[in-house]
Structure 1
Amino acid sequence: MERYDQLYQLYDEFDAGTLRALQNFVDLFPPVDSRIALEHWREVGEELDECKAEVREAFPATGETFCELAARASRDQAFTALDLYAKYDRGVNVLVLDVDETLRSAGGTDNEIPRETLHLLTEFHEGGMPIVVCTGQTLENVKGFLIQGLGNEIVHSGDLSVVYEAGTGVFTPGHGADTKRLLYEDLDDDIQSVFDAVRSRVLSEAPEDLRRGCHLQGNEFNVTLKPNFETGSQQAREVIDHALVYELDLLGEAVAEQVGESSEGASDWARAYYAEQDPEIRGVLEGEGEMPDADPEDVPAGVRETFERIDVAYYEADAAEIGSLELNKVVGVEAAFDVLGIDDPFAAVMGDSKSDLRVMEWVAENDAGIAAAPEHSSRDVLDHVVKTDELVFDRGKAGDVLRTIYAMNRLANLG
């Protein structure tokens, strides 16, 4: 209990709130040319040093760690960090981070990663922490905003890996022949042929309202239709609901053709099979008046076996996507760990969707990490996070959990 008593002393006897405010100002001060502003920044830095010196003096054996705790983490974050260290007896050695609606939020950060979050990631990187960005986005999109936010040096440092398109590929600059791994090339020819067939037809054969209302995301492998309207809007919801039904029909026909079945009834097989697998898909089909009369048990064995290898994902008012169940974020993260040389991971996994949940469950099953999620995540994600370590954060506030992890690692270093 000694460490808990020391934390009580730290937060009871020192003004940690002021310390954090001073540290944030020094860390996040924008680049300016004003001599007066720069002088103020120096004065704040001197005040911060004086406050930290008082903490060091009060804790002779742990002063450096405790002044950093007070300057970086709130009381709740510090005690949560100590609880986590007491539970797992180790610190985090890799960050696995989703981007959309996790690091950034359309409703909370104007779809930009906050400066605070970017600065904290920079601090982790400078401390030697590998970072795995794990997203459903295309590689080019991810590279663009990472270079803009973190800088070219960090992105190409050799300690950052990007799992893109939810696990179809892994990009880890600075690793020679392993810099880019195209995981979808490991799939057999039959599955690749199904995806080629769907991709070649998805726009050319689309009804006019879909051609006008959505576009094909520039993926290397997955087939993803995105709305030409603001994500979350009623128009986006309507066009993505329609796109989901259309993609199911294309998939059914492509699979039937590949396995040598008649295409008659193939659309109904796909609708029936995936409605049984996912309540959200069933809800869309019912809402569109497109639920088939077919029974899932009537799907021919060859068609069903292929469906069992293919994922259809629905993101309300955002995307309708076809991907491979053999390629997911877990597969991508494992490949990223391999390239980065992380043999004994204890990861902090942050995400909001079902694809992130797979990674969270994987680290939990293997005693290989902890999970955190924003409060607006899918219900299954929140259930898992609450059931494990209750690391739920407010929309757009990923920095709160990063501060907890920072504190956890500082405490772990004390032993």
Structure 2
Amino acid sequence: MSSVVAPAAARSVLAARTGVVVVFALNGFVIGSWFSRVPAVRETLDLSAGRLGLLLLAMSVGAVVAMPISGLVVQRLGTARTVVVAALTLSVGLLVTGVCASVAGWPPGVAVGLFVFGYGTGTCDVAMNIEGAAVERRLGRTVMPRFHAAWSLGSVAGAALGAVAAELGLVLALHLPLVGGAVLVGMVFGVREFLPAAETTSAGGAVSPAARRRSLLAAWREPRTLLIGLFVLVAAFSEGSATDWVAIAFVDGYGVSEAAGAVVYGIFVVGMTIGRITGTLALDRWGRVPVLSGAILLAVAGVSVAVLAESEPVAAVGVALWGLGGSLSFPVGMSAAADEEERAPARVSVVAAIGYTAFLADPPLLGLIGDRVGTLHALLVVPILLLLSVVLVPATRPPRGRPSDHRARRRRGRDPSRRRKL
């Protein structure tokens, strides 16, 4: 009997892994598509850097509003249904954003659309990370960064098509709704491979609403969860700063074209993708703390080069290093929040809620600084925060007994069981 069940279970997990990859990639695609057109929105609405930052804040507010309750929604609906509802929400947000930007030329309407878009992407983010962590546990090896690499690849594709759309002069009212509709259809197909709802929510729908609320409140009082949240906050600020501003910073600071600015953003995402694909090997070999510490320092160097370089090619190399060094912090933070499966929905929701507050601070803070020193030099805030985040890295260390922790100790020759055998 077991010889039949085990292969079937393995196939189920592999299928779920594929479904998670699809959803992550599509989520990245829709984000990359939007941010590659931010310069077009600025030009269409004739916005200063400060006013653009305030407009982008609407999307961040939507995401942050969604985060605290997303864990409860996942526990109630399951990850698959939550992703579908989120995809429908974000597609509506893109439709409103595109129409209000290029047809009506109405910034308040764009802000409403971005709020809805952010609410959808934020909800999807929590659900797909919970599903990804469940799949990672069943596979028994580090794969979360590779899910986020799929997000990065999707973002590259979205940014690339966005650059083409910008070069062709495709109006936002057509481009953005098409992206939203395609993402909705793709996610509906992707979630069909997800694990059964009861496997990613501690007890499926049997948990009462009151118990779910108590679980969420308890997570807000856990020191480790809060420290991981702060760590993810800095990681999100670093990534969000590149997403929101690197294209515009190169347009303003180095005088490149709008299309070239989108390409620079693509370089950042390529760096993140490479780091997330190869970083899993390093994490399993040496563990979370040393790998994350080294990666953060690489990101600090990359941002500094990107801002202070005297030539565009060298600055672009700095952007690539920024992406490479910043690639692991966010996914590993999410994995750390989900280390204990029964508490994963609540803890991931809390960590995401804390982390996504970075997107509240990022647009207005860098926009206001950019009004005074230029958008390019405003990015120097990023390496300062990254250096401070190094002290938070130990909070991501897996609880004693986690398989990944055992592998790292064995490879370093410090596993107690190995010493006994010797």
Higher helix share: 2
Ranked by relative contact order (alpha carbons within 8 Å, sequence separation 6 or more), the top structure is 2
After TM superposition, the score normalised by the length of structure 1 is 0.23
Q: Mark the structure with the bigger radius of gyration.
A: 1
